[in-house]
Structure 1
């Protein structure tokens, strides 16, 4: 091949990796790369902040399963990516971040816009690289994509000094085998040990009160069909984590919906009373387990995960299976098809008890309120979109209501910051998701506090005519913090009032977007229908909701499921241990 600049080698690798969209902001240290991008066939999205660019790349990745790409310059450009990288790292989202760096001979001299980016980002990436020789550039970039998308996905950063992008080199495009040979210590295990799978099948056949507990790994593996087949074959109810939503259709009779701190009464009671818990691509997060000593106290535990470090990290399990969720479930189903379950009558009794819990304690709120209830807005969004939209969320009460009152039917339908809990994530993630999936309606359900953290990139959505919709559940509070202050700090509302805020309708219009508002329940559906009719620019909807509505049920942090705080009027007895069969 003819000699090429490092910047052109970067473009060649991006083409080889079938990248179609790049999010980012140029600057001095990465200027050569942006020059090379000038005539390249990428959709190059110029954002107004590097953090928003990273969240957009993350939203793109989560909506498709493909690797998202973000670029930033050195110093503050690169450090602005840190929260976005940490968000992707916690939620196992595949991103490649390409950052400019000062020339190699300036590294360590406190040069203008120099920062130790690899040192800063090492704890919040799956891996990172500093390129010091142009001979290594192409291989390192291909390694970055390979690491990001394989095994447990995650963000990888490649820091490239400016002189490397300027130098020329007669290179050859590395093959996939070259990449694998260069990473001898990195060998993700996909198949799962058959002996362990047989042990799991035996426990499933013998269980009287089993529950499938499904996390984000099932979404990443796209194991939704296998989950439905397993649940129906063995008559097992299914609960999902915040990150696992959509892996199992929530309109299915066996769906328990979300478990944990703000999980449904019936999901938490099922987990508390089960005798077998089958964890699929989940990591036993503290928001799920609560008090560890009382989490599924009667249960044997099977744990299927591609990341061996996640198994028995917080909860000791009985049957660990390391492997890709989809592949392991396929083998597990084959084992179960050979012999029927052993406790048919007990299994039926278990499902009947769960149905009783569902009838007695469904998710609820005051449906006769003359003030807009946030739950009502989410339900109306579900109806207006016929349950087919991709929903993104920031972090806080609105995130929980989006998780609880919209029924998710397919993988990658609910995109939110689960692990890190990053405010400001929802809107830019929605922009990235809409670019990735233009065929889908994409709606960011936001809180007023979360939305204000990345409003500058309304401009990006307007510039590229991205018709993303934003539904602000505006309670003029940092709502989740206020709720905790009400419950656990004697209603001392310290630094949570957001009553001084912009007029979101005028703000949207000033950016060139459409602004709409609802102040009473009768206006909610009208606003939604008008928003859905607009498809040439973003729409910002401001819903003035009940200021002190709480997210319930709630398991206080570190407490047992038996200590659930229920919605007023609910009649469940969370302290009761039920045993059947």
Structure 2
């Protein structure tokens, strides 16, 4: 059948099962929008392209499907870059489609022209500039395949406007054939057997897991492995929810703001089994003091991640789910009484805690109340900074795909649009964005998107009047020289919510925290809750930059 490039693209998206596309129209994509107008695909008009990219990312993290965003050429495309980079750093499957000037104008500094492929090449898994309409259907199929296989990530399709208007006979590719791209899914059996022997003989083992557990959908296998081998488990920020934090074997999160007992356990471990994690600097701290006595086993689908930061002893390349299924067969239960006595002692001496004795609202208390009221049936998104770390520490995550946050890039403004995407992907879930008063303002315009579509996202602003994490560093390491961190001129968030047509609630008393959250959860549409918290509260534990992870500041007197 003869079709335009726009029709070929939309039909290809439908074949890939795309439900939502997030974005903003513009001149270079008008032919495409004309076809989308009558398409079963639901286009979500955001108010900024960065918001569109984060919404697609949040949709992908919450559902496990590929998120799709769409922007016009030039500034529309460049506005997507931060969202694409965010997805790239956290290995999130996303396809970003950008308009481009006509093919014969490329390189001539045409109106709204940008070298989108060149700009995004460092932050995409792969990029396409479509110059022949006959390649379009094949390109879309390949883009989705690349985005959602191996180590997942964003793929860009840059589409000149004349290609969208051309016509040709559509050729639907039967399958993807990429000779240079063959992800390995089955682990080496010999390496798996060696790993099992090392784990079984360990006296002080720790399992350290990252976002790969969630991407590979193998939380069940991880739980089986931990219980079968009696192995304590710690997770990265990206791995939260991959192992139930209410389980006796859970050590919670490790790293710069991880639990003291997780950091102590990793430091004193004799075997460290890393699964789907990349030994990020926020996890390792000072590299030469990270797990110094441990034999390290690393399971990862990306061979480039193995021994990239930390030299490992037993590398196993492949999909975590497949490898764990095989590894479990060879693991036996070992009591390790002395090891767990030591871990329990650390837990008793250094629990996650805060002083909640006064009348001022503590941010940790707000998050604990959200957790208790949601009863585990919530998806939490976060912005970046203190709000992110408190949300990681004081909400109990028991299921995968319930904690969505920008880990690698640390993108302020991520949480709210990501919550919109997550809510559309999971309409039966409560979705809460834990935000700071600084970060929420970076994409607050998406409140219009939420109101217009009646997307019932709840925003909990932990309002301390500062760029809180920067203030904390200045307090602890820069002699309290608070340079450019006080947020003078913050808006009245309640009035701002009402101006957009949403509900806004101000909370200034501790006794009003729980009733306000309950009220917000009962409201059908989007809600902003403005919690006026202790402006001097800091995030602890904290590992100072460049220090070993066992050398933590436990509190203000550390």
Moved over 6 A (4+): none
The CA distance in 1 between the partners of 2:350 and 2:555, in whole Å, is: 9
The CA distance in 2 between the partners of 1:483 and 1:369, in whole Å, is: 21
Structure 2 contact 260–550 (Cα < 8 Å) conserved: no
The CA distance in 2 between the partners of 1:562 and 1:307, in whole Å, is: 28
Q: Kindly indicate whether residue 174 of structure 2 is the aligned counterpart of residue 185 of structure 1.
A: no
SS in 1 for 2:480: coil
TM-score (norm 1): 0.95
Aligned equivalent of 2:486:
497
Deviation at residue 370 of structure 1 after TM alignment: 1.1
The CA distance in 2 between the partners of 1:249 and 1:527, in whole Å, is: 28
Aligned equivalent of 1:446:
435
Q: Paired residue for 1:238, among 219, 229, 233?
A: 233
Counterparts in 2 of 1:70-469, with a 5 A limit?
Answer: 70-176=69-175, 179=176, 181=177, 183-336=178-331, 340=332, 344=334, 347-469=336-458
Write the deviation string for residues 148-201 of structure 1: whole angstroms up to 9, x where unpaired. 00000000000000000000000121122xx1x2x1000000011001000100
Q: Kindly indicate whether residue 538 of structure 2 is the aligned counterpart of residue 539 of structure 1.
A: no
Q: Kindly indicate whether residue 453 of structure 2 is the aligned counterpart of residue 481 of structure 1.
A: no
Structure 1 contact 364–567 (Cα < 8 Å) conserved: no
The CA distance in 1 between the partners of 2:241 and 2:218, in whole Å, is: 10
Q: Kindly indicate whether residue 551 of structure 2 is the aligned counterpart of residue 556 of structure 1.
A: no
The CA distance in 1 between the partners of 2:425 and 2:157, in whole Å, is: 23
TM-score (norm 2): 0.99
Give the stretch that moved more between structures: 122-131 or 358-367. 358-367
Give the stretch that moved more between structures: 403-412 or 353-362. 353-362
SS in 2 for 1:563: coil
Deviation at residue 569 of structure 1 after TM alignment: 7.6
SS in 2 for 1:400: helix
Aligned equivalent of 1:578:
none
Structure 2 contact 506–530 (Cα < 8 Å) conserved: yes
SS in 1 for 2:438: helix
SS in 2 for 1:556: coil
SS in 2 for 1:156: strand
Structure 1 contact 466–538 (Cα < 8 Å) conserved: yes
Structure 1 contact 8–33 (Cα < 8 Å) conserved: yes
SS in 2 for 1:408: coil
**Which consecutive unaligned segments of at least 5 residues does structure 1 have?**
571-581
Deviation at residue 334 of structure 1 after TM alignment: 1.0
SS in 2 for 1:380: helix
The CA distance in 1 between the partners of 2:110 and 2:550, in whole Å, is: 57
Give the stretch that moved more between structures: 407-416 or 557-566. 557-566
Structure 1 contact 92–153 (Cα < 8 Å) conserved: yes
The CA distance in 2 between the partners of 1:356 and 1:42, in whole Å, is: 55
The CA distance in 1 between the partners of 2:173 and 2:358, in whole Å, is: 63
**Which consecutive unaligned segments of at least 5 residues does structure 2 have?**
none
Q: Paired residue for 1:470, among 453, 459, 463?
A: 459
SS in 2 for 1:409: coil
The CA distance in 1 between the partners of 2:376 and 2:344, in whole Å, is: 23
The CA distance in 2 between the partners of 1:421 and 1:568, in whole Å, is: 25
Structure 1 contact 387–406 (Cα < 8 Å) conserved: no
The CA distance in 1 between the partners of 2:396 and 2:44, in whole Å, is: 31
Give me the CA root mean square deviation: 0.9
Q: Paired residue for 1:518, among 490, 493, 507?
A: 507
SS in 2 for 1:562: coil
SS in 1 for 2:264: helix
